[in-house]
Amino acid sequence: MFKFLHSMRFRVWFLFIGFTTIILAFLYVNQVLLLPTFYTFIKTQETTGTANVLKKYWDSESLIYETQRLSQEHEMWIVVNKYVRGSLFTYSADPENMFRHVAFGQQGENKLFNDVLHSRNHTVTEIIDIDGRQMLRYATLVGSANDIKGYIVIFNFLQPLENTQNILKSQFFLSSCVIFLVAFILSAFVVAGISNPIIKISRSAGKLAKGEFDMKTRKVDYAEIKTLADNLNKASREIAKTENLRKDLLANVSHDLKTPLTMIKAYAEMIRDLSGDNPEKREKHVKVIIDEADRLNGLVVDMLDLSKIQSGVAKKELAVFNFSQHLNVLIERFGYLSNDLGINFITEITKDIFIKADLPKIEQVIYNLTNNAVNYTGEDKKVFVRLFVKKDGVGRFEVGDTGSGIAKEEIPYIWERYYKAAKSQFHKRTSVGTGLGLSIVKGVMEIHGYAFGVDSTVGKGSTFWFEFPCEKNDKI
């Protein structure tokens, strides 16, 4: 019960019914309880307006005509007392004869005029009872206290409102019952329309914690809920991608760890059992162990580097250096591949191109791209390395191979971790490398803000590149 009282369904329904109750209460007070007060206010405004019209015609010959007309039009009794050359003339527009004498005699009229003269704004408004009938008596001074031109007294009938109030109360009760019924039903539909999609979305979101990422929501009519559903659908898809990536990562890392560990164990056992006393064989087996240990170390380093880059921990330490010289040194380090694997490096490096960048990270990019080209080059085993300056003064580094190339639809995904191992039919993993190289390249390029990419043609090869603003050598 406590949970239901704090649910969105109950609260929205309660607010809906509460709002309806407040509106009905306001209408009851305003249209039923305050009806006499409002009616008196309207009659007072009507009477005041009539007096103001007569004041406009006070010095006009139409005064008597306007008095008669207004009396008949509004069903009022109007008494006009006007001073003319020191004498007081009285005109009574009285639909019922002798009303003026019934309303007040000479003594009562003098007292009323005296009250008007000494009242605020020289106006007196009061409700009086004449022969059991309530009337609004309005008296006002024409002119000023120092220059009295006369008085206007208006009697306005007030109709009895008891019967009207009783009718309104009965009508209001019936109307309230109908309104409450409609509000109850309508609020139930509104609450269901709002809460049901959210409840379903909440249930679907709860499944994410259980590893069920196939989140589907039905069509909803509210834009905000639709946005929420779309965002959760998008989040579920991204979580699914992350989960798949995690599984791929574990699978591939496990594979990368298993192979060298197996070989290290096998060759260590061979040294123990077979080649321990044979220096030549022992040296050969030890070299395999060292190479496999290097592979393991490279995998760990690459994973740590990628983790730092993607978590935002990695920071760049910029310095201006001669890119051309460093590139020549790095390419020389790959020279052993020419002897061991027959790789033919074809270089085209323009001299004295300077760059402002983080030297270790740029070297890592060059190593990864070059190693990638070595792994995937064609049967001619050619790798092209170029460094030059474009016409717009922007430096460009390129590494190309003559391998099978990458399909156009595959290119946007090659920068993902282990994508090649999981999905690509053009790039197959070799025994060399960790499968994280291009992801690291992407991270380093994004840290520096450099443009990067790949140009590839299926069956002809791929060229990876990045561009950078050239620096002047005087900044060394």
| Total domain count, the chain | 4
CATH number of the domain that 249 lies in?
Answer: 1.10.287.130
Same domain for 347 and 276? no
What does each C-alpha distance from 378 to 168, 176, 405, 428, 437 come to in angstroms? 96, 86, 10, 13, 19
What single-letter DSSP state applies at residue 60? S
Q: What pLDDT does 218 receive?
A: 61
In tens digits, the chain (476 residues) has pLDDT values of: 665 666 667 777 788 888 888 988 888 888 788 888 888 999 999 999 999 999 999 989 899 999 999 988 888 888 898 888 777 787 877 655 445 555 565 456 678 888 888 888 899 998 888 777 788 989 999 998 888 899 999 988 888 888 888 888 888 888 888 888 888 888 888 777 777 777 777 777 777 767 676 666 666 666 777 777 777 778 777 777 777 767 766 666 666 677 677 778 887 888 887 776 778 888 888 887 887 787 677 667 766 766 666 666 666 788 999 999 999 988 887 776 676 678 899 999 999 999 999 888 898 889 889 988 988 888 899 999 999 999 888 999 999 999 999 998 888 888 876 565 344 444 444 434 556 778 888 888 988 899 999 999 998 999 999 999 999 875 44
Beta-strand runs (E) in 337-391? 344-349, 354-357, 382-389
Q: How far apart are CA 318 and CA 309, in angstroms?
A: 16
Q: How far separated are the first and last CA of the chain, in Å rounded?
A: 75
Strand partners for 457: 461
Q: At what angle do helices 359-376 and 437-448 cross, to 10 degrees?
A: 140
Distance of CA 259 to the CA centre of its chain: 49
Alpha-carbon distance of 455 to 462, in angstroms, equals 6
Q: Which ranges of 271-322 would DSSP assign to H, the alpha helix?
A: 279-311
pLDDT of residue 426: 41
The residue out of 310, 327, 346 marking a domain boundary is 310
Rounded CA gap, 189 and 195, in Å? Answer: 10
84 and 142 in a single domain? The answer is: yes
Q: State the greatest distance between any 2 C-alpha atoms of the chain, in Å, as a whole number.
A: 153
Q: In 3D, which of 397, 441, 204, 434 has the Cα closest to residue 302?
A: 434
> What is the C-alpha to C-alpha distance for residues 90 and 401, in angstroms, rounded to an integer?
120
Radius of gyration from C-alpha coordinates of the chain: 49
**Residue at 224 is within a domain:** no
Query: Domain check: are 14 and 39 in the same one?
Result: no
Residue that is last in its domain, among 310, 327, 342: 310
> Please, what is the Cα angle at 97 between 96 and 100, to 5 degrees?
95
Using DSSP's 3-state secondary structure scheme, residue 463 falls into strand
List, as one string, the DSSP characters of 7-27: SHHHHHHHHHHHHHHHHHHHH
Contact assessment for residue 354 and residue 476, using Cβ atoms and an 8 Å cutoff:
yes
- Domain holding 412: CATH number? 3.30.565.10
Comparing CA positions, the residue from 224, 269, 58 lying closest to residue 149 is 58
Same domain for 193 and 342:
no
Q: Are 180 and 170 in contact (CB under 8 A)?
A: no
Q: Are 466 and 351 in contact (CB under 8 A)?
A: no
Examine residue 221 and state whether it is found in any structural domain, yes or no: no
The answer to whether the CB of 50 falls within 8 A of the CB of 70 is yes
pLDDT of residue 470: 93
For residue 6, what pLDDT is reported? 62
Query: For residue 62, is it within any domain?
Result: yes
Residues 77 and 198 in one domain: no
401 in the same domain as 286:
no
**Shared domain check, 332 and 241:** no
Contacts 24+ apart (CB under 8 A), 263-269: 263/288, 263/289, 263/292, 264/289, 264/292, 264/293, 267/292
Task: Indicate if 131 and 87 belong to the same structural domain.
Answer: yes
Distances (CA, A) of 33 to 36, 400, 474: 8, 91, 92
> Could you tell me if residue 408 is inside a domain?
yes
Q: Are residues 325 and 251 in the same domain?
A: no
Same domain, residue pair 195 and 251: no
Q: What is the dihedral of CA 360, 366, 367, 370, to 10 degrees?
A: 180
pLDDT for res 327: 93
At 390, phi and psi to the nearest 5?
A: -75, 170
212 assigned to some structural domain: no
Domain that holds residue 109: 35-160
Query: Is the distance from CB of 44 to CB of 57 less than 8 angstroms?
Result: no
Neighbours of 100 (CB within 10 A): 18
* Whether residues 283 and 377 fall in one domain: no
| pLDDT computed for residue 427 by the predictor | 42
Calpha distance 421→428 (Å, rounded): 6
Q: Which helix (H) or strand (E) holds 89?
A: strand 87-93
Cα distance between residue 349 and residue 395, in whole Å? 11
What CATH number is associated with residue 87? Answer: 3.30.450.20
Q: Determine the Cα–Cα distance for residues 465 and 396; give it in Å rounded to an integer.
A: 7
For CA atoms 228, 210, 214, 241, give the dihedral sign: positive
Smallest CA-to-CA distance from 108 within 77, 76, 139 is with 139
Same domain, 286 and 405: no
